[in-house]
Amino acid sequence: KQEVTQIPAALSVPEGENLVLNCSFTDSAIYNLQWFRQDPGKGLTSLLLIQSSQREQTSGRLNASLDKSSGRSTLYIAASQPGDSATYLCAFSSRGTSYGKLTFGQGTILTVHP
Amino acid sequence: EAGVTQFPSHSVIEKGQTVTLRCDPISGHDNLYWYRRVMGKEIKFLLHFVKESKQDESGMPNNRFLAERTGGTYSTLKVQPAELEDSGVYFCASSHRDPRLGGYTFGSGTRLTVV
């Protein structure tokens, strides 16, 4: 059973494009949802954290939204740059489990070419 | 501040051998987590320490895996005996406060290959 689904699995865009990464989840009792970035051979870096009571969070060119009722979150990247190339992961923390546990999607591999 | 440190970064062992992975969290972080990513699958939770106590070990796959955190500082994850399906990347993370408020810091991971 896939609890978190990320679409698309991979995305290749030219520099400058605005793009949207999608994340859907089956647990309606989430506590929060996070978006992470992973560069090859590196750990995960937290980009944005949305609490269940919030609708969206913004940081620079990144905007993440959360719709609990539909079980969806999107990560919007404006004016993409080659340095944005990485794997993007969404993960949620559930009210039904221990507070330390994150449930991850498989990620979207983003390539931004010059 | 220093980040979360994991070593080794890579390990190749034969089936049936023992391997011990180590994680040094950020100093002062009471919460320490182990996650694993098996090839082609999503990152999955293994367990969560609060100081030296296991808060949640529901993700540990079987009794071949043993995690410890003596003194509430660094943690080790031992796999004994290793099987082929244990291959993957093992991540450690730490946080100072309730992670639901944010503040996870992940290490770079240990890539384990069992042959």
Cα B84 to the center of its chain, rounded Å = 18
Chain B: closest CA distance from residue A43 (Å): 4
The DSSP annotation for A40-99 comes to: TTS-EEEEEEEETT-SEEEETTEEEEEETTTTEEEEEE-S--GGG-EEEEEEEEETTS-T
A34 vs A32: CA distance, rounded Å: 7
pLDDT average per 10 residues of sequence, chain A (114 residues): 87 97 89 92 91 94 95 97 97 78 94 96
Chain B: closest CA distance from residue A106 (Å): 4
Given the structure tokens 């679409």, which residue do they identify? A7
Give yes or no for a contact between A35 and A47, defined as CB atoms under 8 angstroms apart. Answer: yes
Residues of A with CB under 8 A from a CB of B: 4, 31-32, 34, 36, 41-46, 49, 51, 89, 91, 93, 97-107
**What are B56-99's pLDDT values in tens digits?**
999 999 999 999 998 889 999 999 999 999 999 999 999 987 77
Give yes or no for a contact between B79 and B19, defined as CB atoms under 8 angstroms apart. Answer: yes
